[in-house]
Amino acid sequence: MPLTHRDSRHLTPGHTRPPPSDESVLDWRRLFQAPDPMQIDASAEGEMLVARMRTALILCLLPVPIINLLYDPNTAAGAVGLLTCLVGLVPALVVQRVLRRSAYHPWLGLATSLLDVSVVSLGHAAFLVLGQPMTTVNNRLMFDVYFLAIGATALRYDARITLAAGSLAMWEYLGLVLYATSRFDLTNPALDPHHYGAFDWATQASRIVLLGAATLLAAVLVNRGQRLRGQSRVDRLTGLPNRTFFEERVEAELSRARRQHEPVVVAMLDIDHFKRHNDRWGHPAGDVALREVARTILAGIRQSDTVVRYGGEEFVALFIGLNSAAALERAEAIREAVGALALPIPRRRDTTGVTISIGLAAYGPDGTQAEELIEQADARLFQAKEAGRNRVVGPPPEAVGREPAGPPDSPPDRMRGSPGRVM
């Protein structure tokens, strides 16, 4: 069974659900569920991508309404197009700035998705204000932008955002059509100087149905993408995230550490004499050991930290906002907890135990790139092994003063060290 975590805000595997037995059957309830927390980084990347595409698209389209204003007799279309571009450009630039300076939150993806749809509706509404209702109800170019806005929501990796944005597009467009029919005589040829065609309800109904179909298709694709991405980043034996996930996560955390000047510590954890354990008790007992060690490590970290199965009997933990001294205390407590485990042996009444060795590397004195920190943590793990195993090796005391300043570990979370550690 996958391990659970205490807080869904953080990226741990506890919210990873096993796939159904029949992959071809769509569980519609999943479309309304919050995405796995492991998708947050993908959502942030998607939001930034949408923001950049939005900016680039608007800048490319901006000359079109300007040219219309200068040379096209339909000056209203040019004015509306220019207004829509400017209204969409400002939030696009703001979102890019926010994402560079702070973490992504799902509400941001929802807000920008709803804004994209509403900007398109604003463009339709502007033609009503200008007395061109036939442009609102029959203009194909402006209406097609709804599909771009709905499709872009799929990059947020949250089907609820897609459903919300698509539903808003349907209701807003329906409201515009109802308003146009109530305030204007759409059978009057004088209201169609640009020959958009006669108004009929069948066409409007088909437009709304198409919006609904596009929304549902995008939501299903989001759900499918979530499941495939989640499965590719979870270790099935322990339920922990895997190395692929960690490589993405550590880059995001180091980028945040650079911006906010916070300490980060990488810990490499390895089960001592694991091959000997397997040879003596069998591989099923080794699987039990891996699961129990993973559960113990996960129970020993905070809600803001991350732990992954890096490969074989090796794990990596990422301590966010802790300096090396506080991280060493936490690693020491994990080491003690693992050493106290009584591991059941499959098909036997006996129990056994394992120990772990841990190496720590601190952001700043040990490097600023992920590769440097992993290499240094691995080197200190090797030192722990050479010194007799079942111990923690961290940065030397003089390195602590060179770490970025960060908040101290909160009193309830502090753990006592033990003589087993090596400095």
Domains of the chain: 17-232 (no CATH), 243-413 (3.30.70.270)
- Other C-beta atoms within 10 Å of 368: how many? 13
Q: Which helix (H) or strand (E) holds 320?
A: strand 314-320
Q: What pLDDT score does 33 carry?
A: 67
In this predicted model, which residue has the larger pLDDT, 119 or 208? 208
What is the pairing mode between strands 392-393 and 356-362?
Answer: parallel
Given a contact cutoff of 8 angstroms between Cβ atoms, the answer to whether 15 and 36 are in contact is: yes
Q: Which of 138-147, 196-205, 307-316 has the highest mean pLDDT?
A: 307-316
User: How sure is the predictor about 379, in pLDDT bands with cuts at 50, 70 and 90?
Assistant: very high
Q: Which residues contact 299 (CB under 8 A, 6 or more apart)?
A: 337
Where is average pLDDT lowest: 3-7, 149-153, 290-294, 339-343? 3-7
Question: Mean pLDDT across the stretch 172-182?
Answer: 94
As a three-state string, the secondary structure of 158-222 is CHHHHHHHHHHHHHHHHHHHHHHHHHCCCCCHHHCCCCCCCCCHHHHHHHHHHHHHHHHHHHHHH
The structure tokens listed for 92 are 């696009």
DSSP 241: B
pLDDT digits 0-9 by tens, 321-372:
999 999 999 999 999 999 999 999 998 888 999 999 999 999 999 999 999 9
Which phi and psi (to 5°) does residue 271 adopt? -75, 130
Q: Which helix (H) or strand (E) holds 392?
A: strand 392-393
Q: Which of 36-50, 72-86, 229-243, 391-405 has the highest mean pLDDT?
A: 229-243
Percent of the chain with pLDDT over 70: 79
Averaged confidence pLDDT in the chain: 81
DSSP 321-388: S--HHHHHHHHHHHHHHHHT--EE-TTSS-EE---EEEEEEETBTTBSSHHHHHHHHHHHHHHHHHTT
Q: Is the pTM of this model over 0.85?
A: no
C-alpha to C-alpha distance for 327 and 366, rounded to whole angstroms: 14
For 309, the 3-state DSSP assignment is strand
- Other C-beta atoms within 10 Å of 31: how many? 16
C-alpha to C-alpha distance for 416 and 282, rounded to whole angstroms: 34
Question: Mean pLDDT across the stretch 394-400?
Answer: 75
Question: Mean pLDDT across the stretch 58-77?
Answer: 68
